[in-house]
Amino acid sequence: LSRQGVKAIETEGAAFDDELHEAIALLPAASEEQKGKIMDCVKKGYKLHDKVLRHASVVVGQ
């Protein structure tokens, strides 16, 4: 699929973006730096070029 242009959406340590991610849970952030950042990816998301095929299901720090 990667040869066709399908790529996994990056989540590790990224800031939450509702265009790419779906927040399925909020957890208390251990620091100010983690607020609004993705703490865990429950289900990978994928893009085809610039179009989102499936949003990544993530846990976000609050």
Q: What is the pLDDT of residues 3-25, one digit of tens each?
A: 889 999 999 889 999 999 999 99
CATH at residue 51: 2.30.22.10
Instruction: For Cα atoms 4, 47, 35, give the angle at the middle one, nearest 5 degrees.
Output: 150
For the entire predicted model, the pTM comes to 0.87
Domain that holds residue 42: 2-61
- Which pLDDT band holds residue 1 (cuts at 50, 70, 90)? confident
Q: Two tokens at 32? A: 């100010």
| Contact criterion met (CB below 8 Å) for 44 and 9 | yes
What integer pLDDT is reported at residue 41 of this predicted model?
98
Q: What is the pLDDT of residues 24-56, one digit of tens each?
A: 999 999 899 999 999 999 999 999 999 999 999
SS3 state at 20: coil
Tally the domains of the chain.
1
